[in-house]
Structure 1
Protein backbone atom coordinates (compact mmCIF):
# COMPACT_ATOMS: atom_id res chain seq x y z
CA UNK A 1 0.00 0.00 0.00
CA UNK A 2 1.01 3.60 -0.50
CA UNK A 3 1.77 6.00 2.34
CA UNK A 4 -1.50 7.77 1.58
CA UNK A 5 -3.40 4.50 1.94
CA UNK A 6 -1.62 3.65 5.20
CA UNK A 7 -2.53 7.05 6.67
CA UNK A 8 -6.10 6.79 5.37
CA UNK A 9 -6.55 3.37 6.97
CA UNK A 10 -5.15 4.60 10.26
CA UNK A 11 -7.38 7.68 10.29
CA UNK A 12 -10.46 5.64 9.39
CA UNK A 13 -9.95 3.36 12.38
CA UNK A 14 -8.62 5.82 14.96
CA UNK A 15 -11.88 7.35 16.17
CA UNK A 16 -12.40 11.09 16.45
CA UNK A 17 -11.54 13.61 13.76
CA UNK A 18 -8.06 13.54 12.22
CA UNK A 19 -6.67 15.67 9.40
CA UNK A 20 -3.27 15.19 7.80
CA UNK A 21 -1.25 17.18 5.29
CA UNK A 22 2.25 16.18 4.22
CA UNK A 23 4.62 17.67 1.65
CA UNK A 24 7.92 16.08 0.66
CA UNK A 25 10.19 19.07 0.01
CA UNK A 26 12.60 16.97 -2.06
CA UNK A 27 10.14 15.41 -4.51
CA UNK A 28 7.16 17.74 -4.18
CA UNK A 29 4.88 14.81 -3.30
CA UNK A 30 1.79 15.91 -1.36
CA UNK A 31 -0.40 13.66 0.76
CA UNK A 32 -3.67 14.77 2.23
CA UNK A 33 -6.30 13.05 4.34
CA UNK A 34 -9.05 15.41 5.49
CA UNK A 35 -6.48 18.12 4.82
CA UNK A 36 -9.09 20.88 4.51
CA UNK A 37 -11.09 19.83 7.57
CA UNK A 38 -11.35 22.88 9.81
CA UNK A 39 -10.26 22.57 13.43
CA UNK A 40 -10.06 25.00 16.33
CA UNK A 41 -6.47 26.09 15.83
CA UNK A 42 -5.39 26.05 19.47
CA UNK A 43 -1.80 27.29 19.69
CA UNK A 44 -0.84 26.54 16.08
CA UNK A 45 -2.24 30.02 15.29
CA UNK A 46 0.76 31.42 17.18
CA UNK A 47 2.94 30.74 14.11
CA UNK A 48 0.85 33.25 12.17
CA UNK A 49 0.96 35.77 15.04
CA UNK A 50 4.76 35.46 15.00
CA UNK A 51 4.84 36.03 11.23
CA UNK A 52 2.74 39.21 11.45
CA UNK A 53 4.94 40.64 14.21
CA UNK A 54 8.07 40.04 12.12
CA UNK A 55 6.33 41.66 9.13
CA UNK A 56 5.68 44.75 11.24
CA UNK A 57 9.32 44.79 12.33
CA UNK A 58 10.52 44.60 8.72
CA UNK A 59 8.18 47.43 7.73
CA UNK A 60 9.45 49.60 10.59
CA UNK A 61 6.27 49.78 12.66
CA UNK A 62 7.96 48.17 15.68
CA UNK A 63 11.45 47.23 16.78
CA UNK A 64 12.12 43.71 18.02
CA UNK A 65 14.29 45.22 20.76
CA UNK A 66 11.42 47.35 22.11
CA UNK A 67 10.68 46.53 25.75
CA UNK A 68 7.28 45.51 27.09
CA UNK A 69 6.75 45.87 30.83
CA UNK A 70 4.74 42.99 32.29
CA UNK A 71 1.64 44.23 34.10
CA UNK A 72 -1.01 42.31 36.03
CA UNK A 73 -3.73 43.14 33.50
CA UNK A 74 -1.69 41.43 30.76
CA UNK A 75 -1.48 38.08 32.52
CA UNK A 76 -3.31 35.14 31.01
CA UNK A 77 -3.44 31.67 32.55
CA UNK A 78 -2.99 28.40 30.73
CA UNK A 79 0.28 27.47 29.08
CA UNK A 80 3.43 29.48 29.73
CA UNK A 81 5.18 31.09 32.68
CA UNK A 82 4.67 34.85 32.43
CA UNK A 83 1.45 34.82 34.43
CA UNK A 84 3.39 33.22 37.30
CA UNK A 85 5.97 36.04 37.41
CA UNK A 86 5.93 39.29 39.30
CA UNK A 87 4.85 42.35 37.37
CA UNK A 88 7.32 44.98 36.14
CA UNK A 89 9.64 42.49 34.46
CA UNK A 90 10.76 43.76 31.06
CA UNK A 91 10.80 41.64 27.93
CA UNK A 92 11.72 42.56 24.40
CA UNK A 93 9.17 41.84 21.67
CA UNK A 94 11.50 39.17 20.28
CA UNK A 95 11.71 37.50 23.69
CA UNK A 96 7.91 37.44 23.82
CA UNK A 97 7.85 35.79 20.39
CA UNK A 98 10.26 33.12 21.62
CA UNK A 99 8.21 32.44 24.76
CA UNK A 100 4.99 32.31 22.74
CA UNK A 101 6.45 29.66 20.43
CA UNK A 102 8.76 27.44 22.46
CA UNK A 103 6.62 27.15 25.61
CA UNK A 104 3.36 28.40 24.07
CA UNK A 105 3.08 31.26 26.55
CA UNK A 106 -0.47 32.64 26.42
CA UNK A 107 0.38 35.96 28.06
CA UNK A 108 3.07 36.59 25.46
CA UNK A 109 0.63 35.60 22.70
CA UNK A 110 -2.07 38.01 23.89
CA UNK A 111 0.37 40.91 24.19
CA UNK A 112 1.57 40.21 20.65
CA UNK A 113 -2.01 39.96 19.35
CA UNK A 114 -2.62 43.45 20.75
CA UNK A 115 0.49 44.73 18.97
CA UNK A 116 -0.30 42.99 15.69
CA UNK A 117 -4.10 43.50 15.65
CA UNK A 118 -6.32 40.58 14.62
CA UNK A 119 -7.37 42.19 11.35
CA UNK A 120 -3.73 42.41 10.27
CA UNK A 121 -3.10 38.79 11.25
CA UNK A 122 -6.15 37.72 9.22
CA UNK A 123 -5.03 39.83 6.27
CA UNK A 124 -1.66 38.06 6.34
CA UNK A 125 -3.42 34.69 6.37
CA UNK A 126 -5.39 35.75 3.32
CA UNK A 127 -2.29 37.06 1.53
CA UNK A 128 -0.50 33.76 2.15
CA UNK A 129 -3.42 31.74 0.79
CA UNK A 130 -4.48 30.31 4.14
CA UNK A 131 -8.16 30.37 3.30
CA UNK A 132 -9.36 28.24 6.21
CA UNK A 133 -7.35 30.11 8.86
CA UNK A 134 -8.81 32.88 10.97
CA UNK A 135 -8.12 34.44 14.38
CA UNK A 136 -11.15 35.84 16.21
CA UNK A 137 -10.17 35.72 19.87
CA UNK A 138 -7.27 35.94 22.29
CA UNK A 139 -5.91 32.95 24.18
CA UNK A 140 -8.15 31.69 27.02
CA UNK A 141 -11.02 33.99 26.04
CA UNK A 142 -13.83 31.60 26.89
CA UNK A 143 -16.48 34.32 26.66
CA UNK A 144 -15.55 34.83 23.01
CA UNK A 145 -15.88 31.09 22.41
CA UNK A 146 -19.34 31.09 24.02
CA UNK A 147 -20.36 33.89 21.65
CA UNK A 148 -19.23 31.84 18.64
CA UNK A 149 -15.81 33.40 18.08
CA UNK A 150 -12.90 31.00 17.85
CA UNK A 151 -9.62 30.58 15.99
CA UNK A 152 -9.61 28.10 13.12
CA UNK A 153 -7.23 26.47 10.69
CA UNK A 154 -6.74 23.23 8.77
CA UNK A 155 -3.77 20.92 8.10
CA UNK A 156 -3.41 22.09 4.49
CA UNK A 157 -3.12 25.75 5.55
CA UNK A 158 -0.44 25.02 8.13
CA UNK A 159 1.55 22.98 5.62
CA UNK A 160 1.26 25.85 3.14
CA UNK A 161 2.43 28.37 5.76
CA UNK A 162 5.43 26.25 6.71
CA UNK A 163 6.30 25.55 3.07
CA UNK A 164 6.38 29.27 2.31
CA UNK A 165 8.51 29.82 5.41
CA UNK A 166 10.90 27.06 4.27
CA UNK A 167 11.10 28.79 0.87
CA UNK A 168 11.90 32.16 2.49
CA UNK A 169 8.64 33.76 1.41
CA UNK A 170 7.02 34.56 4.77
CA UNK A 171 7.99 38.22 5.25
CA UNK A 172 11.34 37.55 3.56
CA UNK A 173 14.18 35.03 3.61
CA UNK A 174 15.88 36.55 6.68
CA UNK A 175 12.74 36.52 8.80
CA UNK A 176 11.65 33.11 7.52
CA UNK A 177 14.97 31.72 8.76
CA UNK A 178 14.49 33.48 12.12
CA UNK A 179 11.05 31.91 12.52
CA UNK A 180 12.24 28.43 11.65
CA UNK A 181 15.12 28.73 14.12
CA UNK A 182 12.65 29.59 16.90
CA UNK A 183 10.38 26.69 15.93
CA UNK A 184 13.40 24.36 16.17
CA UNK A 185 13.69 25.25 19.89
CA UNK A 186 10.24 23.86 20.70
CA UNK A 187 9.97 22.53 24.26
CA UNK A 188 6.38 21.24 24.16
CA UNK A 189 7.13 17.72 22.93
CA UNK A 190 5.43 14.35 22.67
CA UNK A 191 3.48 14.47 19.40
CA UNK A 192 5.29 14.56 16.03
CA UNK A 193 8.47 13.55 17.82
CA UNK A 194 6.91 10.84 20.01
CA UNK A 195 8.13 7.79 18.07
CA UNK A 196 11.02 9.34 16.13
CA UNK A 197 14.72 8.97 16.96
CA UNK A 198 15.93 11.57 19.47
CA UNK A 199 18.34 13.13 16.97
CA UNK A 200 15.67 14.04 14.40
CA UNK A 201 15.39 17.83 14.12
CA UNK A 202 11.87 19.27 13.88
CA UNK A 203 10.82 22.93 13.65
CA UNK A 204 7.28 22.70 14.97
CA UNK A 205 4.39 24.12 16.95
CA UNK A 206 1.87 21.98 18.83
CA UNK A 207 -1.56 23.00 20.04
CA UNK A 208 -3.79 21.54 22.73
CA UNK A 209 -7.33 21.96 24.03
CA UNK A 210 -9.65 19.48 25.73
CA UNK A 211 -9.86 16.37 23.50
CA UNK A 212 -7.86 18.20 20.82
CA UNK A 213 -4.19 17.80 19.88
CA UNK A 214 -2.30 19.27 16.93
CA UNK A 215 1.31 19.40 15.81
CA UNK A 216 2.62 21.02 12.63
CA UNK A 217 6.23 21.20 11.60
CA UNK A 218 9.17 20.82 9.24
CA UNK A 219 11.21 17.64 9.68
CA UNK A 220 14.86 17.88 8.64
CA UNK A 221 16.48 14.65 7.48
CA UNK A 222 19.86 14.02 5.89
CA UNK A 223 18.50 13.49 2.39
CA UNK A 224 14.92 14.72 2.56
CA UNK A 225 13.12 17.49 4.40
CA UNK A 226 9.34 17.34 4.68
CA UNK A 227 6.42 19.18 6.24
CA UNK A 228 3.78 17.38 8.27
CA UNK A 229 0.64 18.84 9.81
CA UNK A 230 -1.57 16.54 11.89
CA UNK A 231 -4.69 17.77 13.67
CA UNK A 232 -7.00 15.76 15.92
CA UNK A 233 -10.26 16.54 17.69
CA UNK A 234 -12.97 14.67 19.60
CA UNK A 235 -10.59 11.91 20.62
CA UNK A 236 -11.38 9.90 23.75
CA UNK A 237 -8.43 11.46 25.58
CA UNK A 238 -5.69 13.96 24.79
CA UNK A 239 -3.19 11.12 25.04
CA UNK A 240 -5.06 9.33 22.25
CA UNK A 241 -4.62 12.46 20.12
CA UNK A 242 -0.91 12.72 20.89
CA UNK A 243 -0.35 9.04 20.10
CA UNK A 244 -2.28 9.31 16.83
CA UNK A 245 -0.09 12.23 15.77
CA UNK A 246 3.00 10.29 16.79
CA UNK A 247 2.01 7.18 14.85
CA UNK A 248 1.18 9.10 11.67
CA UNK A 249 4.45 11.00 12.03
CA UNK A 250 6.36 7.70 12.31
CA UNK A 251 4.70 6.36 9.14
CA UNK A 252 5.82 9.42 7.20
CA UNK A 253 9.32 9.34 8.70
CA UNK A 254 9.75 5.65 7.83
CA UNK A 255 8.71 6.37 4.24
CA UNK A 256 11.04 9.34 3.75
CA UNK A 257 14.08 8.64 5.93
CA UNK A 258 15.80 6.58 3.24
CA UNK A 259 14.16 8.25 0.26
Structure 2
Protein backbone atom coordinates (compact mmCIF):
# COMPACT_ATOMS: atom_id res chain seq x y z
CA UNK A 1 0.00 0.00 0.00
CA UNK A 2 2.75 2.59 0.74
CA UNK A 3 4.08 2.36 -2.86
CA UNK A 4 0.58 2.91 -4.19
CA UNK A 5 0.03 5.89 -1.91
CA UNK A 6 3.37 7.38 -2.94
CA UNK A 7 2.25 7.33 -6.57
CA UNK A 8 -1.05 8.95 -5.64
CA UNK A 9 0.71 11.60 -3.57
CA UNK A 10 2.97 12.44 -6.50
CA UNK A 11 -0.09 12.95 -8.72
CA UNK A 12 -1.66 15.19 -6.08
CA UNK A 13 1.53 17.23 -5.74
CA UNK A 14 1.57 17.96 -9.49
CA UNK A 15 -2.07 19.08 -9.62
CA UNK A 16 -2.59 22.87 -10.10
CA UNK A 17 -5.10 23.26 -7.29
CA UNK A 18 -6.34 21.76 -4.05
CA UNK A 19 -7.21 18.08 -3.62
CA UNK A 20 -8.94 16.01 -0.95
CA UNK A 21 -8.61 12.23 -1.06
CA UNK A 22 -9.95 9.37 1.02
CA UNK A 23 -8.91 5.81 0.19
CA UNK A 24 -9.88 2.83 2.33
CA UNK A 25 -9.68 -0.94 2.13
CA UNK A 26 -13.25 -1.84 3.08
CA UNK A 27 -12.21 -5.20 4.51
CA UNK A 28 -9.06 -4.36 6.50
CA UNK A 29 -10.14 -0.70 6.99
CA UNK A 30 -6.62 0.51 6.23
CA UNK A 31 -6.96 4.19 5.30
CA UNK A 32 -4.97 6.82 3.44
CA UNK A 33 -6.04 10.43 3.19
CA UNK A 34 -5.01 13.86 1.93
CA UNK A 35 -6.87 16.92 3.20
CA UNK A 36 -9.64 14.60 4.46
CA UNK A 37 -11.59 17.26 6.39
CA UNK A 38 -11.42 19.94 3.68
CA UNK A 39 -14.96 21.29 3.31
CA UNK A 40 -15.54 21.89 -0.39
CA UNK A 41 -18.43 22.78 -2.69
CA UNK A 42 -20.24 19.49 -3.12
CA UNK A 43 -21.55 19.90 -6.67
CA UNK A 44 -23.56 16.76 -7.45
CA UNK A 45 -21.81 14.56 -4.90
CA UNK A 46 -24.37 15.93 -2.40
CA UNK A 47 -26.85 13.62 -4.14
CA UNK A 48 -25.07 10.61 -2.61
CA UNK A 49 -25.91 11.46 1.04
CA UNK A 50 -29.33 12.62 -0.16
CA UNK A 51 -29.97 9.16 -1.61
CA UNK A 52 -28.99 7.53 1.67
CA UNK A 53 -31.31 9.75 3.68
CA UNK A 54 -34.25 9.12 1.35
CA UNK A 55 -33.77 5.34 1.60
CA UNK A 56 -33.34 5.50 5.38
CA UNK A 57 -36.85 6.87 5.84
CA UNK A 58 -38.61 3.70 4.72
CA UNK A 59 -40.78 5.74 2.33
CA UNK A 60 -42.79 3.77 -0.22
CA UNK A 61 -40.58 3.85 -3.30
CA UNK A 62 -43.53 2.97 -5.54
CA UNK A 63 -45.57 6.07 -4.74
CA UNK A 64 -45.93 8.60 -7.53
CA UNK A 65 -44.47 12.03 -6.80
CA UNK A 66 -45.41 15.00 -9.01
CA UNK A 67 -42.74 17.07 -10.69
CA UNK A 68 -43.83 20.55 -9.66
CA UNK A 69 -42.93 23.52 -11.90
CA UNK A 70 -41.07 25.22 -9.04
CA UNK A 71 -38.67 22.25 -8.85
CA UNK A 72 -37.61 22.35 -12.51
CA UNK A 73 -33.91 23.16 -12.67
CA UNK A 74 -31.20 23.86 -15.19
CA UNK A 75 -28.00 21.89 -15.52
CA UNK A 76 -27.75 18.13 -15.76
CA UNK A 77 -30.70 15.83 -16.20
CA UNK A 78 -33.60 15.08 -18.52
CA UNK A 79 -36.76 15.99 -16.58
CA UNK A 80 -36.36 19.68 -17.45
CA UNK A 81 -36.83 18.80 -21.13
CA UNK A 82 -39.88 16.54 -20.73
CA UNK A 83 -43.55 17.48 -20.82
CA UNK A 84 -44.95 19.26 -17.74
CA UNK A 85 -47.30 17.50 -15.35
CA UNK A 86 -45.24 14.34 -14.87
CA UNK A 87 -45.51 12.20 -11.76
CA UNK A 88 -42.90 9.51 -11.25
CA UNK A 89 -42.35 6.77 -8.66
CA UNK A 90 -40.01 7.91 -5.91
CA UNK A 91 -37.60 5.12 -6.89
CA UNK A 92 -37.39 6.51 -10.44
CA UNK A 93 -36.69 10.00 -9.13
CA UNK A 94 -33.88 8.68 -6.91
CA UNK A 95 -32.49 6.75 -9.86
CA UNK A 96 -32.54 9.82 -12.11
CA UNK A 97 -30.94 11.86 -9.32
CA UNK A 98 -27.93 9.53 -9.36
CA UNK A 99 -27.50 7.86 -12.76
CA UNK A 100 -27.92 11.02 -14.89
CA UNK A 101 -27.43 13.46 -11.99
CA UNK A 102 -30.84 15.01 -12.68
CA UNK A 103 -31.12 18.33 -10.84
CA UNK A 104 -34.89 18.52 -11.22
CA UNK A 105 -35.32 15.03 -9.78
CA UNK A 106 -33.06 16.09 -6.90
CA UNK A 107 -35.25 19.12 -6.19
CA UNK A 108 -38.40 17.00 -6.27
CA UNK A 109 -36.84 14.59 -3.76
CA UNK A 110 -35.72 17.47 -1.54
CA UNK A 111 -39.23 18.96 -1.55
CA UNK A 112 -40.91 15.60 -0.98
CA UNK A 113 -39.03 15.02 2.27
CA UNK A 114 -39.55 18.55 3.62
CA UNK A 115 -36.60 20.45 2.16
CA UNK A 116 -33.06 20.58 3.58
CA UNK A 117 -33.69 20.36 7.33
CA UNK A 118 -34.37 16.61 7.64
CA UNK A 119 -31.47 15.84 5.31
CA UNK A 120 -29.03 17.90 7.34
CA UNK A 121 -30.28 16.44 10.61
CA UNK A 122 -29.60 12.98 9.19
CA UNK A 123 -26.08 13.94 8.10
CA UNK A 124 -25.29 15.25 11.57
CA UNK A 125 -26.65 12.07 13.17
CA UNK A 126 -24.29 10.00 11.01
CA UNK A 127 -21.28 12.08 12.05
CA UNK A 128 -20.75 13.63 8.62
CA UNK A 129 -19.49 16.94 9.97
CA UNK A 130 -18.80 18.72 6.67
CA UNK A 131 -21.83 17.49 4.72
CA UNK A 132 -24.56 20.07 4.19
CA UNK A 133 -27.49 20.45 1.79
CA UNK A 134 -28.17 24.11 1.10
CA UNK A 135 -31.45 23.67 -0.75
CA UNK A 136 -32.74 23.28 -4.28
CA UNK A 137 -30.18 23.06 -7.08
CA UNK A 138 -29.70 25.14 -10.23
CA UNK A 139 -32.89 27.18 -10.12
CA UNK A 140 -32.98 30.25 -12.41
CA UNK A 141 -32.18 33.65 -10.93
CA UNK A 142 -35.78 34.82 -11.34
CA UNK A 143 -37.10 31.79 -9.44
CA UNK A 144 -34.77 31.23 -6.45
CA UNK A 145 -35.34 28.78 -3.62
CA UNK A 146 -36.93 30.95 -0.89
CA UNK A 147 -35.48 28.65 1.79
CA UNK A 148 -31.91 28.91 0.53
CA UNK A 149 -29.91 31.91 1.72
CA UNK A 150 -28.03 33.92 -0.87
CA UNK A 151 -24.57 32.46 -1.32
CA UNK A 152 -25.41 29.33 0.69
CA UNK A 153 -23.66 26.26 -0.72
CA UNK A 154 -23.89 22.51 -0.31
CA UNK A 155 -20.64 21.03 0.99
CA UNK A 156 -18.91 17.70 1.57
CA UNK A 157 -15.48 16.42 2.60
CA UNK A 158 -13.48 13.41 1.48
CA UNK A 159 -13.66 11.93 4.98
CA UNK A 160 -17.44 12.30 5.18
CA UNK A 161 -18.02 10.62 1.83
CA UNK A 162 -15.50 7.93 2.69
CA UNK A 163 -17.30 7.23 5.96
CA UNK A 164 -20.63 7.10 4.12
CA UNK A 165 -19.30 4.61 1.59
CA UNK A 166 -17.86 2.37 4.31
CA UNK A 167 -21.09 2.45 6.30
CA UNK A 168 -23.10 1.68 3.18
CA UNK A 169 -20.87 -1.19 2.04
CA UNK A 170 -20.71 -2.83 5.46
CA UNK A 171 -24.48 -2.57 6.01
CA UNK A 172 -24.17 -0.18 8.96
CA UNK A 173 -25.98 2.70 7.29
CA UNK A 174 -29.20 1.25 5.88
CA UNK A 175 -31.37 -1.85 6.27
CA UNK A 176 -30.42 -4.72 3.92
CA UNK A 177 -33.06 -4.05 1.25
CA UNK A 178 -32.32 -0.32 1.21
CA UNK A 179 -28.58 -1.05 1.03
CA UNK A 180 -29.11 -3.20 -2.06
CA UNK A 181 -31.30 -0.51 -3.62
CA UNK A 182 -28.64 2.14 -3.03
CA UNK A 183 -25.83 0.00 -4.47
CA UNK A 184 -27.97 -0.98 -7.44
CA UNK A 185 -28.65 2.65 -8.28
CA UNK A 186 -25.00 3.66 -7.79
CA UNK A 187 -23.85 0.80 -10.03
CA UNK A 188 -25.78 2.34 -12.94
CA UNK A 189 -24.04 5.73 -12.76
CA UNK A 190 -23.60 7.19 -16.26
CA UNK A 191 -21.23 10.01 -15.32
CA UNK A 192 -17.95 9.00 -13.69
CA UNK A 193 -14.35 10.12 -13.99
CA UNK A 194 -12.98 6.93 -12.45
CA UNK A 195 -13.16 4.92 -15.68
CA UNK A 196 -10.87 7.22 -17.69
CA UNK A 197 -7.85 4.88 -17.53
CA UNK A 198 -9.45 1.65 -16.34
CA UNK A 199 -9.88 -1.44 -18.57
CA UNK A 200 -13.66 -1.06 -18.67
CA UNK A 201 -16.35 1.30 -19.91
CA UNK A 202 -20.00 1.90 -19.08
CA UNK A 203 -21.16 -0.77 -21.53
CA UNK A 204 -18.85 -3.33 -19.92
CA UNK A 205 -20.27 -2.48 -16.50
CA UNK A 206 -23.86 -2.70 -17.73
CA UNK A 207 -23.25 -6.02 -19.46
CA UNK A 208 -21.39 -7.49 -16.49
CA UNK A 209 -18.22 -8.12 -18.52
CA UNK A 210 -16.01 -5.54 -16.76
CA UNK A 211 -13.14 -6.82 -14.58
CA UNK A 212 -14.45 -4.74 -11.69
CA UNK A 213 -17.63 -3.39 -10.14
CA UNK A 214 -18.18 0.32 -9.59
CA UNK A 215 -20.68 2.12 -7.34
CA UNK A 216 -20.14 5.85 -7.68
CA UNK A 217 -21.39 9.42 -7.81
CA UNK A 218 -19.49 12.24 -9.47
CA UNK A 219 -20.02 15.98 -9.48
CA UNK A 220 -18.75 19.01 -11.33
CA UNK A 221 -19.14 22.75 -11.24
CA UNK A 222 -16.96 25.42 -12.80
CA UNK A 223 -14.01 25.11 -10.38
CA UNK A 224 -14.59 21.62 -9.03
CA UNK A 225 -14.51 18.05 -10.27
CA UNK A 226 -15.28 15.23 -7.82
CA UNK A 227 -15.88 11.49 -7.79
CA UNK A 228 -16.73 9.23 -4.88
CA UNK A 229 -17.36 5.53 -5.00
CA UNK A 230 -16.51 1.92 -4.33
CA UNK A 231 -14.29 -0.06 -6.69
CA UNK A 232 -14.57 -3.80 -6.15
CA UNK A 233 -13.33 -7.02 -7.68
CA UNK A 234 -14.02 -10.51 -6.35
CA UNK A 235 -13.64 -10.20 -2.57
CA UNK A 236 -11.65 -6.94 -2.63
CA UNK A 237 -13.36 -3.57 -2.24
CA UNK A 238 -11.99 -0.06 -1.81
CA UNK A 239 -13.70 3.25 -1.26
CA UNK A 240 -12.15 6.13 -3.17
CA UNK A 241 -13.09 9.79 -2.87
CA UNK A 242 -11.29 12.47 -4.89
CA UNK A 243 -12.39 16.09 -4.50
CA UNK A 244 -10.72 18.91 -6.44
CA UNK A 245 -10.77 22.66 -6.86
CA UNK A 246 -8.73 24.61 -9.39
CA UNK A 247 -8.75 27.86 -11.37
CA UNK A 248 -6.38 26.37 -13.95
CA UNK A 249 -9.07 25.53 -16.51
CA UNK A 250 -12.61 26.97 -16.38
CA UNK A 251 -13.96 24.81 -19.23
CA UNK A 252 -16.10 21.69 -19.01
CA UNK A 253 -14.32 19.14 -21.19
CA UNK A 254 -13.02 15.54 -20.99
CA UNK A 255 -9.36 16.51 -20.65
CA UNK A 256 -9.77 18.89 -17.73
CA UNK A 257 -6.75 18.43 -15.41
CA UNK A 258 -9.01 17.40 -12.52
CA UNK A 259 -10.76 14.79 -14.67
CA UNK A 260 -7.36 13.35 -15.60
CA UNK A 261 -6.21 13.39 -11.98
CA UNK A 262 -9.28 11.49 -10.77
CA UNK A 263 -8.87 8.92 -13.52
CA UNK A 264 -5.17 8.45 -12.80
CA UNK A 265 -5.74 7.97 -9.07
CA UNK A 266 -8.36 5.33 -9.78
CA UNK A 267 -5.94 3.66 -12.21
CA UNK A 268 -3.17 3.53 -9.59
CA UNK A 269 -5.58 1.90 -7.14
CA UNK A 270 -6.69 -0.63 -9.73
CA UNK A 271 -3.14 -1.53 -10.82
CA UNK A 272 -1.89 -2.04 -7.27
CA UNK A 273 -4.89 -3.69 -5.65
CA UNK A 274 -7.59 -4.76 -8.12
CA UNK A 275 -5.87 -5.60 -11.39
Query: TM-score scaled by structure 1?
Result: 0.92
Instruction: Verify: 1:252 aligned to 2:269, yes or no.
Output: yes
Aligned-partner Cα distance in 1 for 2:74–2:66: 18
- Match of 2:94? 97
Once the two structures are TM-superposed, the CA of residue 13 in structure 1 deviates from its matched residue by 1.5
RMSD, aligned α-carbons: 1.8
- Match of 1:215? 227
Instruction: Verify: 1:147 aligned to 2:163, yes or no.
Output: no
Once the two structures are TM-superposed, the CA of residue 177 in structure 1 deviates from its matched residue by 1.6
Partner secondary structure for residue 73 of structure 1? helix
Aligned-partner Cα distance in 2 for 1:236–1:146: 29
How many pairs does the alignment contain?
253
Once the two structures are TM-superposed, the CA of residue 173 in structure 1 deviates from its matched residue by 2.1
Aligned-partner Cα distance in 2 for 1:175–1:49: 13
Aligned-partner Cα distance in 2 for 1:43–1:173: 25
- Match of 1:197? 199
Within a 5 Å distance, the mapping from 1:117-156 to structure 2 comes to 117-141=115-139, 147-156=150-159
Aligned-partner Cα distance in 2 for 1:236–1:222: 38
Within a 5 Å distance, the mapping from 1:1-259 to structure 2 comes to 2-56=3-57, 58=58, 62-116=59-113, 117-141=115-139, 147-189=150-192, 191-198=193-200, 199=210, 200-237=212-249, 238=252, 239-257=256-274
Please tell me whether the aligned partners of residues 7 and 33 of structure 1 are also in contact (alpha carbons under 8 angstroms). Answer: no
Aligned-partner Cα distance in 1 for 2:235–2:90: 36
Please tell me whether the aligned partners of residues 67 and 108 of structure 2 are also in contact (alpha carbons under 8 angstroms). Answer: no
Which ranges of structure 2 fall in alignment gaps of 5 or more residues? 201-209
Which ranges of structure 1 fall in alignment gaps of 5 or more residues? none
Aligned-partner Cα distance in 1 for 2:85–2:138: 22
Aligned-partner Cα distance in 2 for 1:223–1:161: 20
Please tell me whether the aligned partners of residues 213 and 231 of structure 1 are also in contact (alpha carbons under 8 angstroms). Answer: yes
Please tell me whether the aligned partners of residues 63 and 90 of structure 2 are also in contact (alpha carbons under 8 angstroms). Answer: yes
Aligned-partner Cα distance in 2 for 1:171–1:224: 21
Aligned-partner Cα distance in 1 for 2:230–2:159: 14
Once the two structures are TM-superposed, the CA of residue 161 in structure 1 deviates from its matched residue by 0.3
